Amino acid sequence: MPAALREPSKLAARYLETLAATRGASPHTLRAYRADLAEFDAFLAGRGIDTASEIAPRALRAFLVALDERQLARTSVQRKLSAVRSFLKWLVDQGRLASHPAAGLRQARGGRRLPGCLELAEIERLLDAPDVTTPRGRRNRALLEVMYSCGTRAAETVGLDREDLDLARGIARVRGKGRKERLAALGRPARAALQDYLSDPKRPKPSVRAGGAVFLSERGTRLSTRSLQRIVEAELARAGIARRATPHTLRHSFATHLLDRGADLREVQELLGHAHLVTTQIYTHVSIERLRDVYEKAHPRSGKR
């Protein structure tokens, strides 16, 4: 049966529309889920499964085996399964499936990779790296200060509008995943960097499509997440920091440094915009590992001296 006429394919398209309309899924998430569900549909077609009601636990287990045989990265497998599980749950909710085929399915869990983190001295070098005698450098300084001060994701950072900033009170309104909003604190250095950048007469004039965007490209368009990645890489090189880091590394550093200095885990959860505390708890492992490293280097009976 042609893919365009297959029921699973049509239902997947409807599910993605629902995901975009009611859950505020980002374009990146939608692209990934569309590719993952197309792969799942092709697998079902290869097994002669043409209707949603035919999707059984056996088919899902076979799909998992097929993924494992490809020796994909554990994170890639987990993302694909997450997309499929979510789609199948929607089919159950829509009455297309009597029960969830993944019920009782177990997958070997790989070790969870701890997030990367810059040391405080490296953060200070990075924040001092931009050449603030140039318009680009003033923008880059403001970008880096905001990400480290607020712990924002890349998309949240470039998505900031002028109306989201209250520099007098040191507050930024951040739009996170699922269109959820939260308030983030702007420290004094971040406020000063933003003020310098926004009042810069050489700041590019915003294009019509840029709207009220805070961070602009040289062409006056809203900065993209890809451009933000390149800016971070360029400033890392300028700071002489050899290790690889991303905009998300600044978010990880923000959370880890707060916990290192005694911040409450639930407070950090709110600052990061995490829906579940378990997501934030990974940063406690980072802090514990750092403390263990200090202990093993300093304690006379740690066994490492």
Domains of the chain: residue spans and CATH: 3-93 (1.10.150), 120-246 (1.10.443.10)
* pLDDT higher than 60, residue 35: yes
Active site residue 285: no
User: Quick one: three-class SS letters along the chain?
Assistant: CCHHHCHHHHHHHHHHHHHHHHCCCCHHHHHHHHHHHHHHHHHHHHCCCCCHHHCCHHHHHHHHHHHHHCCCCHHHHHHHHHHHHHHHHHHHHCCCCCCCCCCCCCCCCCCCCCCCCCCHHHHHHHHHCCCCCCHHHHHHHHHHHHHHHHCCCHHHHHCCEHHHEECCCCEEEEECHHHCEEEEECCHHHHHHHHHHHCCCCCCCCCCCCCCECCECCCCCECCHHHHHHHHHHHHHHHCCCCCCCHHHHHHHHHHHHHHCCCCHHHHHHHHCCCCHHHHCHHHHHHHHHHHHHHHHHCCCCCCC
Active site residue 244: no
Active site residue 305: no
Active site residue 188: no
Single out the catalytic residue among 6, 139, 153, 191.
153
* pLDDT higher than 60, residue 71: yes
Which of the four pLDDT bands, split at 50, 70 and 90, describes residue 300?
A: low
Single out the catalytic residue among 177, 182, 203, 290.
177
pTM value is 0.60
Higher pLDDT, 85 or 67: 85
Structure confidence at residue 277 (pLDDT) = 60
Higher pLDDT, 304 or 209: 209
Structure confidence at residue 4 (pLDDT) = 44
Which of the four pLDDT bands, split at 50, 70 and 90, describes residue 283?
A: low
Higher pLDDT, 233 or 279: 233
Higher pLDDT, 9 or 291: 9
Structure confidence at residue 3 (pLDDT) = 44
Active site residue 248: yes
For 159-178, what is the mean pLDDT?
90
Structure confidence at residue 233 (pLDDT) = 94
